[in-house]
A = this chain, B = another copy of it.
Amino acid sequence: MAKPTFQSLPGFRDFRPEDCAVRNYLFAKFREVARRYGFLEYETPLVEATELYLKKSGGELGTQLFRFEDQGGRDVTLRPEVTASLGRLLTACQRDYPKPLRWFEIGQCFRYEKPQAGRTREFYQFNVDLIGEPSAAADAELIALSIELMRELGFQKGDFVIRLSDRNYWQKYADSKGLSQAQAAELLQIVDKIEREKEEKLTASLAPLGLTLAEVQEAIQSPSALSENLNTVLSNLEARGMRDDVEIDLSIVRGLAYYTGVVFEIFDAKKSMRAVAGGGRYDSLLSSLSDGKVDLPAVGFAIGDVVIRDLIEKTPHALEKMQTSLAAESACDLFLVLADPSQEAKLLALASELRQSGLAVSYSLSATKFAKQFKAAEQAKAPLALVIGSEFPEASLKLIATREEVKITADEKLYTTLSQYLKK
């Protein structure tokens, strides 16, 4: 039997340094694009009262929760998403901030799903929300942010597509067909599945609504008129030079009940994977989460780290951009090589001084041969090695890549000299 203590739990990832670097690359891109758009970072707890999620979902809890009773007898849950927490937080503190709020969170979420390609039981989600602005200009701003994020991650025009839709289009359609509210909700559920489900099943589901599959497909492919909001979003993105990244696709409605207007999803151009990101307008959720205490319109989107990493790895120029960025972050700027053991105190003093100046410095902790120290310098990916011998502060600087050697004189400002070689 395998020893379970030697493995992480199924669906939970260990980030070795090389994986953690990828994670941090993604987080840095999330933060950089959010910053450019004037968004501020917040963070909510990983554990919340289960009631919060019950409230958000309108009474029906998902089956994929990590839910348990804590030592105080509370019914608690590892967060499956962060919007419920955001609603709770805003109820407590939104008065303290001028509107609209531009807020984002990079949070780990937990869902008990069957682990498979692109699906883990924990994942990080970059959640971006714009709260307190009802106009479609906010929807466009958020979609623009998502496009800029894709570009910043190295994706080019044609690598991805934003599929844009509006739930109100379907509300109007349902009204024109004389459907009730419940029937309209059901129609949305059917449209949500129209790409994945068999024709017979769709036809059978539509029949009780008095609709045929052909007329619903017609409504998707040849809409009689787009909503004003969709037109605003399109012309707004046009002004930013982002119109080509977007296509109207009314089959996108997003499964979740709380969306109220424009919705969108990001797909790889081949649509070969599940959505990379998705979001939309949710104007009544905050009110329902807060029992009416906070009635603010909102629009948000989320992107998960697992799917976007997969897509980067499948997209050569995005992968190359990431790898170039990771390679530039050497673990170590300078490796100190001790040629004369009696000079150890000087090595330590120098290491301390250079580190305080901001350089990343390493050295062999135990006395070891010259060649072995150089090997350690290479393993630490240091571009430079400084050999400290009996003539120190005279020293010799080796450029690891070219094996070139530079003599350092006793009166040189070492930090300045090193910085030139490091181009810092």
Contacts and interface: CB of A to CB of B under 8 A. Distances in A.
Interface of A: 3-10, 12-17, 20-21, 23-24, 35-49, 51-52, 55, 64, 66, 68-72, 74, 76, 78, 85, 88-89, 91-93, 96, 98, 100, 102-103, 108, 110, 112, 122, 130, 133-135, 137-138, 141, 144, 148, 151, 235-236, 238-242, 289-291, 331-332, 344-346, 348-349, 351-352, 355-356, 358-362, 365-366, 376, 379-380
Contacts of A112: 70-72
Nearest to A290: B6
> Assembly of this chain: how many copies?
2
A12 to B, nearest CB: 4
Contact of A37 (B49, B76, B362): B362
Contacts of A42: 14-17, 20
B89 A37 contact: no
5 closest Cβ pairs, A-B complex: A68-B68, A38-B362, A239-B345, A12-B45, A17-B40
A205 to B, nearest CB: 30
Contact of A4 (B3, B49, B241, B344): B49
Nearest to A380: B38
Nearest to A345: B239
Contact of A88 (B5, B102, B108): B5
A103 B14 CA distance: 14
Interface of A is mostly: mixed
A376 B132 CA distance: 14
A52 B359 CA distance: 37
Contacts of A10: 72
Nearest to A76: B9
A379 B141 CA distance: 19
16 contacts: A4-B51, A5-B49, A6-B91, A9-B47, A9-B70, A14-B42, A14-B43, A17-B103, A21-B40, A37-B355, A37-B360, A38-B360, A46-B108, A98-B376, A100-B365, A130-B365
A360 B9 contact: no
A88 B10 CA distance: 14
Contact of A9 (B49, B91, B102, B108): B49
Contacts of A6: 88, 91-92, 290
A195 B43 CA distance: 38
Contacts of A100: 365
Contacts of A69: 68
Contacts of A92: 6-7, 14
A365 B17 contact: no
Contacts of A23: 43
Contacts of A55: 5
A192 to B, nearest CB: 25
Centre residue among A4, A45, A358, A376 by max chain B CB count within 10 A:
A45
A48 B85 CA distance: 24
Given A16-B42, A21-B40, 13 more contacts: A5-B51, A5-B52, A6-B91, A8-B88, A12-B47, A20-B42, A20-B43, A37-B362, A47-B78, A66-B71, A133-B365, A148-B355, A239-B349
A301 to B, nearest CB: 16
Given A14-B45, A38-B331, A89-B14, A242 B352 contact: yes
Nearest to A55: B5
B365 A144 contact: no
Contacts of A43: 14-15, 20, 23
Contacts of A24: 41
A332 B138 CA distance: 17
A138 B365 contact: yes
